[in-house]
Amino acid sequence: MNVLKPHKQTTIFTLLGLRKSQRDIERITGIDRKTIRSYQRQFEASRSNSPGVATDSPECRRASNIPQQCAMNEYSGNAASLERLTCG
């Protein structure tokens, strides 16, 4: 199996982390979408195995409510209001 150079792998992983599409990454880097797809699978597997906030934790449930609260204009764009939304 051929392997991309580390800097190209890092570029792909960075763009995937920024939620860029495979087509966008192909356009930016010139790397074939099939190659990007294989690295995307690696990226998703590494994210699922990495330590972090559990998906059923109270922190995750509160964080998932942020978009609804923002829609209700409870988030005024400053750090204090974001703290209230995420921690209480």
Where are the chain's structural domains?
A: 6-49, 58-87
When pLDDT is averaged across residues 1-8 and rounded to a whole number, the result is 88
Give the predicted TM-score (pTM) of the model: 0.55
Q: Mind listing the pLDDT tens digit for each residue in 46-77? A: 877 766 655 555 555 554 454 544 444 444 45
CA dihedral 34, 37, 42, 45 (to 10 degrees): -150
In 3-state terms, what secondary structure has residue 67?
A: helix
